[in-house]
Chain A
């Protein structure tokens, strides 16, 4: 398995609270992605990064922000969590060998009450 960890793996929070999810990789891959997965919607890209401090929005970026201050870490922040952000969040990485293959982390299950 690619060296990708996500933390926390499970989180329950209340509406209106800030939440930060962390993705950590040991593969020195250039590209990192945050997806959310919901029944009936498949995988939807939230934000992605193509290098340190280089990030861009995906298709469902509203309510989310990201930061990447070093190659190995990509943080996803929900500034003020809402119940619609209850989901499973996956981090992915790609780019070491010039292929487009994305390697996924184990996911974080977030419940916003």
Chain B
């Protein structure tokens, strides 16, 4: 049973465009929502994270939007660049059990 549903599975965007990846969760106990970025042949790395007390968090070209009532959160990549081409994973965590529940990933390709 997938507790965090991520979409789309793959995404192609032109350079300079906006990439949007969405995640939905079911467990209202989740209180930490990170996004990880993974390049081919590498391990995932934390990109940006949010807690439910805020509706948006921005770091450079990357923004997380969080909708607590809809139990959804999304990653927006503004001015997408070819170097952003990677696989992106959303995840969620409840309390201090330190186990992340992962989405299945989105493969992003940014065309030059």
Contact = CB atoms under 8 A, between A and B. Distances in A.
Interface of A: 31, 40-45, 48, 50, 58, 90, 92, 94-95, 100-107
17 contacts: A40-B104, A43-B89, A43-B105, A45-B99, A58-B99, A90-B43, A90-B44, A92-B43, A95-B98, A100-B32, A100-B93, A100-B98, A100-B100, A101-B49, A102-B46, A104-B45, A107-B41
Contact of A43 (B34, B41, B44): B44
Contacts of B45: 103-104
Interface in B19-53: 32, 34, 41-46, 49
B105 A101 contact: no
B102 A43 contact: yes
B104 A42 contact: yes
| Of listed B34, B42, B93, B100, residue having the most chain A CB within 10 A | B100
A106 B104 contact: no
A31 B104 contact: no
| Interface residues of A, dominant DSSP | strand
| Interface residues of B, dominant DSSP | loop
A50 B49 CA distance: 22
A41 B32 CA distance: 22
Contacts of B43: 90, 92, 104-107
A42 to B, nearest CB: 4
Contacts of B98: 31, 48, 50, 94-95, 100
Nearest to B95: A100
Contact of A42 (B46, B93, B102): B102
